[in-house]
Chains A and B, each alone.
Chain A
Amino acid sequence: MNQVNIQICIKEIISSFLNKIKKVDHKNNEIYIHLRDIDDMPVICNHVYTSLNTKLATIICTDEQKNDNDFVIRYVFEKLNADIFIFIIASLKKSKYFPSIVSQIPAAASYEREIKDMFGLVPVGNPDLRPLVLHEHWPNDIFPLRKEFDLKTKVARQEQEYPFLRVDGDGICEISVGPVHAGIIEPGHFRFSVLGENIINLETRLFYAHKGIEKLAESMKLDEVLLLSERISGDESVANSTAYCQAIEKISQVYIPNKAKKTRTIFGELERVYNHIGTLGGISTDAGFAFGAARLNILKERMMQLNESLSGSRILFGVNRIGGVKYDISDKNKKLILEQIEEVSSDFEKIIVFLRSKSSFMDRLKGTGIIPKKIAHDLGIVGVAARCVGIDVDTRHDHPYANYTVHNSRTPQQIMQDQIEMEKRSGDALARFEVRVKEVHDSFKIVRESLDLDDDDGLFTEVPKEITPYSYALGYAESHRGQTLHWIMMGEKNSIFRYKIRTASFCNWKIIEHAVLNDIVPDFPLVNKSLDLSYSGNDL
């Protein structure tokens, strides 16, 4: 079925742009379209974006100068109604300029700025060319993801100022918050322009926690990069390592055992549960309702203790391995999981019913931080933030991986009901609250179903010792924040040539600037928490 879809897609693109395309290729669920000239990029991207019902998933730049290929840019589009990723590939041909596609596809803005910082290639036509990832203290002419940049280089500090957007007018004040905050959270700077308490404009400045993961991966062995991928954002460890493993498995054409698929699913859902409960607790804290937060945090703690007894790690580090999983879930542990989620889900239900009955709490959430649907769509938002406005994107449904193929069977009536449900969602903090509650219940259900099935085909498949150099594939998973994409291009001798990660937070941080525009300053923490964005996961 999917093969047919792929052929239709390819035919559609070729028929429109035959003379502009050098080569078309496909592998797994990925279509590769090589262009002759990068200047045709905007036209073709726009066509793929508008007529093929896709969204921009990521833009990947690689430095392939050593292979006589110059810089290569891959625009990855994700088809919304089929399990297909479309790569539009063009090489730069000794120029440091490439055409921007921002005017047609606004979601591309931050990817292009990222490429400008990391590779020194300038997107022509992007109105905002301020640095994004590298801050003003980083020298203008050093580009860390170029191959010529050595990992151990010590870089001199330079003095510059970041030009924030200034809002002028009578009575407009600026409030600058962070990067160091009062709570124990990560760094991020927020620049509000306010009229009284009303937020006129918000500008976020993130990327204070750069860890150089993408560069670091190029110097590490495959197994070590697995550990690195778990540490992109500690609370998304299963999702990120799953995506990483899947990319490697896809490149080497390895199919993992059913048991491993189920185990990955179970751990993935356990991760979602403890994080969603934690976020719901955080929402309660930020609304000033400590009682609800205390109750929910007890449940989060119980789930984390369950994690520890299953994997030895409270945040599920070390669950995945390339080709499968590390831990078998014994019969004793199966019973433990069932007992725990039974207790936690019944307590969870009670607390949620209680929270819904608290008018002061509900009033804080309702109508707060409304995400405009159009903007969410344009910016390519993923995860809960997208689902709370009724944009039905979920990697588990759209591109089933691990064991999710099994959990996706819905009757037409259910699909209808889901669509109606989606239409009702209004995009405010309350919608996000309810979406999270629903997802916790769904996760419990998936865990129960995955435990029921019994397979005995081992925990992992061996991955070939030598993987073809310069082959590449896209791994993906749905973390509790949304889709996380890991694109890997293998290098020689089983090294990694390029590791491009795009987490859900990278997509979703932009939406907060739009979500707060109808709110007042004291509601900002609530909006922020209800979106549950990661600083570390955003800044690799």
Chain B
Amino acid sequence: MSNSLEIVIGVIQVLVLMALSPLMTGIMRKTKARTQKRMGASIFQPYYDMAKLMRKDEVVSDQSSWIFRCTPWVNFVAIGTAAFFIPVFLSHSPFGLVGDLLLIVGLFGLARFFTMLAGLDTSSTFGGIGSSREMMISTLLEPALFLAIFVVALTYGGTNLSTIIETASNSSLLPHPQLIFAAIAMFVIILGETGRLPFGNHATHLELTMVHEAMVLEYSGKSLALIEWSQSIKQIMLFALIANIFVPWGISSSISVSTLGFGLVTFIIKISAFAVFVAFLESSIAKWRLFRVPDLIAVAIASSLVGLVLYYL
């Protein structure tokens, strides 16, 4: 009984992530607009955009292959699957036995791999540029991410997210200074993974400066909606990860309406606050030169290493 209830809640968690993801994008855009002295669109605009794109026809280049057409689905499925392993308001994910943090990274990698292929597939110049840049950044980001995960896994005794978060929510951060360094690294990596400033600029219209946007430049209509949705789900998952690993308090450890409700509310507050913070940060820095971006990733790696050293100290 409790098992099937857990599965139901697990599915609800995934749906919550999917449903809330465009809202986070909307909140970030609104925050950026307000900090730039603009009114900005409503925070629900990403939902309207998606609804609009869903109704639109697609234009697919006749030079492209099946890779281009299946990439939005591979993206969505890979990222959607990863969403099952992320605890949102219940600390132990019922699907935790099937996959851990490393699998999530792998699924992200799969989605990215196909996006890069799709960028090359249409043989448009910008797709190629985008893929090559994405490749450069991701080859550096992944080791940094693994290092950060190691620090967390060593501290909490496993890469399984349920274990990590359950342990985390029952302990205080104070005895684990290495986690602060892991959090710094994780934060930088999340900026990179979601293509936020100073790595990339979501608001740019300049094709030559784009990274992620250049890869998906050829997409339109439903495919574009799917890709954008996958991107925002990925973003909210990363936010959920950093929020629940490093600020786990408030997450529900038992199945009862009141604790789950409390868990959901605190979750929304946590990630909204995080989104607002990231948007603020984006408003206060310019995009870095492309070849200075590795320096920032090096900071993340160094920070994780310091965390690792502190763990063994």
**Contact: B129 with A521, CB < 8 Å?**
yes
The answer to whether B36 touches A524, judged by C-beta atoms less than 8 angstroms apart, is: no
Q: Evaluate contact between B286 and A176: CB separation under 8 angstroms.
A: no
Partner pick for A360 among B133, B198, B291, CB 8 A cutoff: B198
Q: Is A143 an interface residue (CB 8 A)?
A: no
- Nearest-neighbour CB distance to chain A for B121, whole angstroms, equals 17
Contact between B283 and A290, CB atoms less than 8 A apart: yes
Question: CA separation between A175 and B133, bound complex, in Å?
Answer: 14
Q: Which of chain A's residues has its CB closest to B289's CB?
A: A364
CB of A363 within 8 A of CB of B288, answer yes
What are 10 contact pairs spanning A and B, CB under 8 A?
A174-B125, A182-B207, A287-B286, A290-B32, A290-B203, A295-B37, A298-B37, A358-B286, A521-B129, A524-B208
Among B284, B287, B292, which residue has its beta carbon within 8 angstroms of that of A291?
Answer: B284
**A interface size (C-beta, 8 A):** 33
Contacts of A524 in B (CB 8 A): 208
A147-186: CB near B (< 8 Å → 1, else 0) gives: 0000000000000000000000000011111000111000
Cβ contact within 8 Å between B291 and A197: yes
CB-contact partner of A183 in B206, B285, B286, under 8 A: B206
- B208–A291 contact, CB under 8 A? no
Residues of A within 8 A of B209 (CB): 286, 288, 522, 525
Contacting residues, chain A, for B35 (C-beta < 8 A):
291
Q: Which of A256-295 contact B (CB under 8 A)?
A: 284, 286-295
Known contacts A177-B207, A295-B37, A522-B208; is A358 also within 8 Å of B285 by CB?
yes
Q: Which residue of A lies closest to B38 (CB)?
A: A294
Q: Are B208 and A361 in contact (CB under 8 A)?
A: no
Chain B residues in contact with chain A, CB under 8 A? Answer: 32, 35-38, 125, 128-129, 132-133, 197-198, 201, 203-209, 283-292
| Interface contact A175-B201, CB-CB below 8 Å | no
A183: B residues at CB distance < 8 A: 205-206
A523 CB–B CB distance under 8 Å: yes
**Is the Cβ of A291 less than 8 Å from the Cβ of B283?**
yes
Chain B residues whose C-beta falls within 8 Å of the C-beta of A175 in the assembled complex:
125, 129, 208
Contact of B36 among A181, A294, A525 (CB under 8 A): A294
Please give the distance in Å from B198's CB to the nearest CB on chain A: 6
User: Please, how many angstroms separate the alpha-carbon atoms of A288 and B283 in the complex?
Assistant: 9
Q: Which residues of A contact B (CB under 8 A)?
A: 173-177, 181-183, 196-197, 284, 286-295, 298, 358, 360-361, 363-364, 520-525
Q: Known: A176-B125, A288-B197, A521-B129. Is A360-B288 also a contact (CB below 8 A)?
A: yes
Rounded to whole angstroms, the CA-CA distance of A30 and B44 in the bound complex is 65
Contacts of B208 in A (CB 8 A): 175, 177, 521-522, 524-525
- In the bound complex, CA of A363 to CA of B289 (Å): 8
Docked pose: A291 CA to B279 CA in angstroms: 12
By a CB distance below 8 angstroms, the chain B residues around A295 are 37
Name B282's closest neighbour in chain A (CB-CB): A290
Bound state CA distance, A522 and B125, in angstroms?
Answer: 13
User: Which chain B residues lie closer than 8 Å to A173 at the CB level?
Assistant: 128
Which A residues touch B206, using CB under 8 A?
Answer: 182-183, 286, 525
Give the CA-CA distance A291 to B287 in the complex, in Å. Answer: 12
Q: Considering the chains assembled together, what is the distance between the CA atoms of A133 and B289 in angstroms?
A: 35
Give the chain B neighbours of A292 by CB distance below 8 A: 286
- B190 → chain A closest CB, angstroms: 18
Complex contact A288–B287 (CB within 8 A):
yes
Further pairs besides A288-B201, A360-B285, A524-B208: 4, Cβ < 8 Å: A177-B208, A364-B286, A364-B288, A522-B208
Q: Known: A363-B289, A525-B206, A525-B209. Is A290-B36 also a contact (CB below 8 A)?
A: yes
Smallest CB–CB gap between B29 and chain A, Å? Answer: 11
Contact A360 B36 (CB under 8 A): no
Top 7 nearest A-B pairs (CB, nearest first) are: A288-B287, A289-B286, A294-B36, A183-B205, A361-B286, A360-B286, A522-B209
Tell me the nearest residue of chain B to A524, going by C-beta. B208
Measured between C-beta atoms, what is the minimum distance from A58 to chain B in Å? Answer: 32
Whether A287 pairs with B290 at a CB distance below 8 angstroms is no
Measured CB to CB, the closest approach of chain B to A369, in angstroms, equals: 12
Is the Cβ of A364 less than 8 Å from the Cβ of B207? no
Residues of B within 8 A of A288 (CB): 197-198, 201, 204, 209, 286-287
Query: Given A294-B36, A358-B285, is A363 in contact with B292 using a C-beta cutoff of 8 Å?
Result: yes
Q: How far is the CA of A360 from the CA of B199 in the complex (A)?
A: 12
Chain A neighbourhood of B36, CB < 8 A: 290-291, 293-294
Q: Whole-angstrom distance from the CB of B72 to the nearest CB of chain A?
A: 21
Contact of A294 (CB < 8 Å), options: B37, B128, B198, B201: B37
Contacts of A364 in B (CB 8 A): 286-289
Complex contacts, A298 vs chain B, CB 8 Å: 37
Taking CB as reference atom, which chain A residue is nearest B197? A288
Report B-chain residues with C-beta under 8 Å of the C-beta of A176.
125
Complex Cα distance A36/B146, Å? 80
Question: In the assembled complex, how far is the CB of residue A350 from the closest CB belonging to chain B, in whole angstroms?
Answer: 14
Point out the residues of chain A lying under 8 angstroms from B284, CB to CB.
291
| A358-B206 Cα distance, complex, nearest whole Å | 22
Could you tell me the distance between the alpha carbons of A522 and B126 in the complex, rounded to whole angstroms?
11
